Structure 1
């Protein structure tokens, strides 16, 4: 929401609005102009929809509920509808194996952490403090707790399916070995530089585009989803549990299906 209002403030400054940005005084004309400017700048429809949702929440917060819900609907602001169905697929196994065969030990460890524990790039890079704890948990067949580098700082418990515990444990032990040799999973001056460095290495190995690091998470999600189904879970329950394992919460099962699983079935 802060990012949305910083963007709106910058737009107002460029447009030389005569009044400051305030939910109590925002007009339909101003919001229409902002939405159109964002679309003209090439910002995706989904992002613009999310920004308008943030602004409507602020309007409701100052008592302008009817104005927010009726007058400022996306259709009234000229924002087209957008599908919530993603286009991504699970990583191509041949591409993955080719990348692993050429990767350095440190990059290989990070790739396998993402693939077998469903970690985001940032979470894998920030996992140094958790590796020993994960090793103990996996050795005992218990869930792993992901704390560092998570989206919004929200910790999550990841239940690794029985067939995935051995490769997950191997990935964790490889990362521990890298850490003992070089002190960091990615040797860099800052977290931002480490993420950029790792992303560049992934791209050079062919893990980019439809086979980017997120496709590793999709492969993990597919494995988890199929496992839960095999245990007699309904599709809804299987998706809710998979969503929890990915850190999205159990209420986003349908979204997880559309963005992680659907295109690879």
Structure 2
């Protein structure tokens, strides 16, 4: 009886602990969503004054906020495409071939990941200044591509672990050239790693503040715009746009998970 009581207490304590952790993680998001429909614009938004969609209407009249979000999307998409392309080629090349200095290059990949972002931002600012690269969209794309490439490479290399190279050799023995082998054999195997790396790169880019602060010039991104607005309190327009971004993210996650479950069912069906 005493043992059952202890197990029950431990179970309840674990449930409370998990509940507190989830509340800590998601309560701020819930507050943002609720305040995007809150009729009050008094700061702080702690009192519910009624339901309204006015902030969503005013959002599309806030040209500065929309322009900053448009810049953020352009930078995130462009840097994701560049880092995914470069990272895929680098990961495959480093996996397949042996060359002098390979271990050094492998070690250098960890530098953008482990150093503080403020150091990376200052170093990129110094580089752009000394090379006369104008600060703006171009410098932001280059900066974001720089710190996204290692994450793409790590994702793809994780996918390559345990990859059987003999499959490619068998493909070429059957008459396929290197390009056909890569497109029809290697690329489908790497696709989950490439997709995961691209999503991670997009997330890191769209959320970046520190590196963007040092390399943006006069170009304003959405995270920087939010940081700027914090001085006077986050406006309801920002809450509305954040809610829309959250909704879009949830749709992407649901579609991705549905696709993964669909593929898993196909694999299990083939095995049975």
Q: Give the alignment's TM-score, normalised by structure 2.
A: 0.29
Higher share in helix: 2
Quick one: higher RCO (CA 8 Å, sep 6+), 1 or 2? 2
Q: Greater CA radius of gyration, 1 or 2? A: 2
